[in-house]
Amino acid sequence: MTRIGLTTDQLLADPSLVAVAVQALAALKAEIAELEAQERPLIAVLKQVMALNGDARVTDDFGNVAELSERRTGARYDLVSVARDRPAVLAAAGEAGMLSLADGMLAAFRTNGGAVWADVLWQYRDDGGTTTVLSIVRGVR
C-alpha cells in the first residue's frame, strides 16, 4: 500500500515534492479503485450467505465483525401521480423551490427522443456554479 506523509510547509519549502505528492495520490487512487472493485462483489456474496444462514453477525479470528442490519432508505415521492391527480399542487411546490430535476436524467431523456416538454425544461437549465476539484489521472508506463 502507498504511504506518504507530507505537510503544506514541506511542499512549500521544496516544490519538487509536489510531483511526489501527485504520484502518491495517483497510486492511491489506483489502489482504491482496485480495492473497491474487489469489495463490491464480496459484500454482495457475504450479505447473501449471511442472510441465507440466518447470521446477523459474524466475527472472525482477528475480531473483525460483519453485521447485517436494516436501514431506512430516504423517502420517495410519487410525483407522477401528483402531476396527474393534482397538477396545481405540483406547480405550487415547484414555485416554492421544493422540486429539482436530475440534469443527467433529463439530458438522457432528450437524447433518446424525449418529449417536447423535455426541451422546454432544458431551456430553464442553470449551469450552476463552479468548485475547485483536484483530479489525479494515473499515467501509463
- What domain range includes position 40? 8-67
Residue 108 domain-assigned (yes or no): yes
Same domain, 20 and 47: yes
Quote the number of domains for the chain. 2
Q: What is the DSSP letter of 9?
A: H
Contact assessment for residue 24 and residue 138, using Cβ atoms and an 8 Å cutoff: no
pLDDT of res. 86 = 95
Residues 62 and 88 occupy one common structural domain: no
Q: Are residues 12 and 62 in the same domain?
A: yes
Q: 25 with 50, same domain?
A: yes
pLDDT band at 110 (very low <50, low <70, confident <90, very high): confident
Residues 44 and 87 in one domain: no
For residue 116, the model assigns a pLDDT of: 85
d(CA 112, CA 29): 34
Same domain, residue pair 83 and 63: no
| Residue 37: predicted pLDDT | 92
Any domain includes 35: yes
Cα atoms in the Cβ-side hemisphere of radius 13 Å centred on 53:
12
Determine the pLDDT at residue 134.
Answer: 63
The reported pLDDT for the residue numbered 91 is: 94
Residue 135 confidence (pLDDT) above 90: no
Q: Indicate whether 12 and 57 sit together in one domain.
A: yes
